[in-house]
Chain A
């Protein structure tokens, strides 16, 4: 058990380091200095990208696909909670009793929505068209991790399974699409900055009207 706990922490740390290296790797492509005169405010665009711009009323893809959008939110909340649980349990930090039911619900919700998204990818031809092995592997690993976490919180005997799932998941993270846990913030920052600078987002009125 001690080895597994140690493994969870090491794999998590390793994953963070590799993800950080990947972010640094993008910098090796060089940053471009912009010469055009800004028409809007890049930082307002960034604030929009991380706030209002994530809402279904602002984002057509979310509004048109509310079930998928909602599933995505539940899924990612579940994953976040499960990672938190894995790290807490590996460091012998006791999870507050009052929080346990929430952890259970969110992890179960995460598992079911994750499985639903996997099913969607398998069933819909359009989704299969854009999918590669990593898309399936990442989803399956996360679903196993969520299920193991959910069960381990019920039965401590299943903790080794949860820790093993966590180690595999953490080691896999930088290898495939799960790296978006880092790159999401990077690309949303770029998005907000681009459209904010051009005065497209957030929506504006004419200055003097």
Chain B
């Protein structure tokens, strides 16, 4: 085993200077984050090894350290040592281990560096253990003493400091929206088209991944076109527009809660009745499923993915699509947080069936589709980039096997990873979001 955490890495520096107090803090936070379900799961692993083939890291590299059971075991050994009678008194029997610097180094290396928290192993687990959830719990314990790889931590810090993970200023955001609005008005010859910001009383508050504003403005335009065609009553917020939440990945529940609360607060202040989340896997999982738990309160408004909203528009006849405008062969990549962990499985398929002429499914697909390798904060953790791209081979092979010319995926993290895989594996495909594809197929009647 050759850990990717090198001596030059600030995390390694931190590990070397960890005090006993720090280690106790890791253990205390680990204990605090465990609940009855987690403890039961840790009691359950039988080391059958059947999860191995479910992990793209293991499939791509064959490394035993990449087996989900091996990653879980790192956590389990510590759990046994501190929380079970046999582990305390007869540690050799079940492999219980004291949490030492070496063990912490292995935790950082494997739990951050060999896992995208995609949850695929849980579906394969004989016992049904939510392995990803236990790995995230352990990340929380590491985060408590500053052991998050710097790229991932700085993404969270930027979001906390500036309100979005790319540090876009309010002025730049408003300027970008105004520019896109003008472009869309010209493109559609619709001077009445608006990309509203801070419109009080709008039904929907729509959020974006800040990467859309910086690098993928077409994604914002696509949503704007669809809302315009559906005559939706919606708005952006100038204060909180970032759907992403890397607190899901670094394990810092407090930071994650702050980020999610901002979106809810913006929606509440504007009097919106619904928070609609852009195409972002972890953004959906964070704001739809985890935010209420981080904040310990029920959501005061409806929270949906843009995919649910667009599928509903099509069903209700509020928008019409002409699939002949997208005649290339399309395939669909399922973002793990949106699909396997989020339950948004058929909506994107429904939209694409109306928006494209030829759609071919990847094998496997839906809940057991493979992770692209970009989730879990991997895109931000440059020290693990080599592994991330290596593990992405599984996805590249899957895409190639479809023969598709366009890969649709409702997630900008996935898009970034797929772009890199495309270059690395010389895949002759375009990579687009579902709404971009749907927007191209929109039949827009003349409106002013």
Contacts and interface: CB of A to CB of B under 8 A. Distances in A.
Q: Do A and B come from one complex?
A: yes
Interface of A: 22-23, 25-32, 34-37, 39-40, 49, 53, 59-62, 64-65, 68-69, 72, 124-127, 129-135, 137, 175-177, 179-180, 183-184, 186-188, 190-192, 194-195, 198-201, 203-206, 208-209
Interface in B338-353: 339-343, 345-347, 350
13 contacts: A26-B43, A30-B36, A35-B296, A36-B298, A53-B128, A60-B123, A61-B51, A72-B48, A126-B52, A129-B70, A133-B95, A135-B47, A200-B342
Given A130-B69, A205-B346, A35 B298 contact: yes
B54 interface: yes
Given A133-B93, A176-B93, A191 B341 contact: no
Interface string B110-142: 000000000000111111111000000000000
Contact of A206 (B49, B127, B293, B347): B347
B38 A184 contact: no
Interface stretch (B203-211, B224-232, B363-371): B363-371
Contact of B128 (A32, A191, A198): A191
B186 interface: no
Contacts of A192: 128
Nearest to B121: A61
Contacts of A61: 50-51, 53-54, 124-126
A22 B43 contact: yes
Contacts of A127: 47, 49
Contacts of A200: 339-343, 345, 367
Contact of A133 (B40, B92, B340): B92
Given A177-B94, A203-B345, A206-B350, 11 more contacts: A29-B39, A32-B35, A36-B299, A40-B343, A60-B53, A69-B50, A126-B49, A129-B67, A132-B94, A177-B46, A183-B43
A142 B238 CA distance: 65
B127 A187 contact: yes
Contacts of A22: 43
A86 B34 CA distance: 38
Q: Is the interface of A mostly helix, strand, loop or mixed?
A: helix
Q: Which 6 interchain pairs have the tightest Cβ spacing?
A: A191-B128, A199-B343, A132-B95, A35-B292, A61-B50, A129-B64
Interface of B: 34-41, 43-54, 64-65, 67, 69-70, 73, 86, 90, 92-95, 122-130, 288-293, 295-299, 311, 315, 339-343, 345-347, 350, 364, 366-368
A197 to B, nearest CB: 9
Contacts of B36: 26-31
A130 B47 contact: yes
A29 B299 contact: no
B46 A180 contact: yes
B367 A203 contact: yes
B293 A35 contact: yes
Contact of B127 (A64, A125, A134, A180): A180
Contacts of B346: 204-206, 209
A26 B86 CA distance: 15
B419 to A, nearest CB: 27
Contacts of B49: 124, 126-127, 130
A139 B122 CA distance: 24
A198 B289 contact: yes
Most chain B beta carbons < 10 A, residue from A22, A32, A60: A60
Given A59-B123, A130-B49, A204 B128 contact: no
B130 A194 contact: yes
Contact of B124 (A29, A60, A187, A208): A60
Given A60-B54, A175-B86, A177-B46, A130 B124 contact: no
A47 to B, nearest CB: 13
A31 B35 contact: yes
Contacts of B343: 39-40, 198-200
B35 A30 contact: yes
Contacts of A209: 315, 346, 350
B355 to A, nearest CB: 15
Nearest to B69: A130
A134 B130 contact: no
Nearest to B353: A209
A69 B49 CA distance: 12
A182 to B, nearest CB: 9
Contacts of A36: 288-293, 298-299
B128 A176 contact: no
B53 A188 contact: no
